[in-house]
Amino acid sequence: MAILEIKKYPEKVLKQKALPVTTFDQELQALIDNMIETMYAAPGVGLAAPQVGETKRLAVIDISSRDEKHPLIVIVNPVIVRCEGEVEFEEGCLSLPEYTAVVKRAENVVVKAQDRDGKEIAIQGEDLLAIALQHEIDHLDGILLIDRISPIKREFFKKRYKKIQKLNQ
């Protein structure tokens, strides 16, 4: 297994819509394992394939450090089929280091997907799991955390981010 490079804003791959996974082979299994290792090393509670430069509809989520009843989840080709309620939550993102924002999300979701072997699964998520599922599926659709905030906050973020980039050169 290997720790992969996490792509950072404004890399183009983060804004691309990921393509469906059609082949569940050893290459995919290796990518899943590497993504899991990368997520834990970061550390994070979720990681989508575009965040490691792969335009595949694949994500891994593990919120067990905050909610023990939810172990590691691998979702391939996920689709949100039901949303209920609304909640505001302060989110962070591995592709936007050291940045958090309060985002409105559905409080409960049902996601249909495939597991790492291609078997159909349905996941009912509430609270943190619902937020993590929506966040990672956003990545698969080319949507970043900053796309979910107001235009004024987004412009402020971009200006601040450019200043940080110049300081780090």
**CA 94 – CA 132 distance, rounded (Å):** 12
Is pLDDT above 90 for 6?
yes
12-167: CATH architecture: Alpha-Beta Complex (3.90)
How high does pLDDT run on average in the chain? 94
Determine the pLDDT at residue 69: 73
Model-wide pTM > 0.85: yes
10 Å CB burial of residue 119 (0-12, 13-18, 19+) is exposed
Confidence grade of residue 124 (pLDDT, cut at 50, 70, 90): very high
81-118 confidence digits (pLDDT tens):
999 999 999 999 999 988 899 999 999 999 999 999 99
Distance of CA 40 to the CA centre of its chain: 13
Please report, rounded to a whole number, the percentage of residues in the chain having pLDDT higher than 70.
99
26-68 confidence digits (pLDDT tens):
999 999 999 999 999 999 999 999 999 999 999 999 998 776 7
143-155 confidence digits (pLDDT tens):
999 999 999 999 9
List residues with catalytic annotation.
136
- Which string of b and e fits 5-25 if b means at least 16 CB within 10 Å? ebbebeeebbeeebeebeebe
